[in-house]
Amino acid sequence: MNIMQAFKRFPDQEACIEHLEKVRWSDTPKCPYCESENTNPLKKELRHHCNGCRKSFSVTVGTIFHHTHLPLQKWFLAISLILNAKKGIASRQLARDLELPVKTAWFLNMRIRRAMVADERLLQGIVEMDETYIGGKAHAFNTC
């Protein structure tokens, strides 16, 4: 998905939250603290209240988006930019593209990269790859 497709698919915070809820919970919200499905949505906020442990939670609890002050749309656009960059993307470029401070862009970049490395699931079925960049300049070897 390129940046324009990501922007159209996730135009606002609500669309991002709907997508996360669909991916994470499918139908019924599940409490991340006690795994109970006995929850109620809170009307004013995009959060849920667990009747089992009496804690409130959102779909971002336990994810890379937890405790963020940035809109989820910027997170999703950053993920799209990072995944589509052939050789990676610099934090300064990410900062320019998303109109963020460089420190914030660096934090986003590192958090997304760590999440990609931490995912230990193996790919199954047919896997197709394209546009791989490996290496740098070729060095001359000893030819004695």
Read off the tokens for 108.
Answer: 């986003």
Domain boundaries of the chain, sorted by first residue: 3-118
pLDDT by residue (tens digit) across 93-112?
Answer: 999 999 999 999 999 999 99
- 37: number of Cβ within 10 Å: 13
Instruction: State pTM to two decimals.
Output: 0.75
Count of positions (residues) in the chain: 144
Q: Is 45 helix (H, G, I), strand (E, B) or coil?
A: coil
Angle at 22 between CA 116 and CA 53, to 5 degrees: 90
pLDDT by residue (tens digit) across 104-139?
Answer: 999 999 999 888 887 666 667 777 767 666 666 766
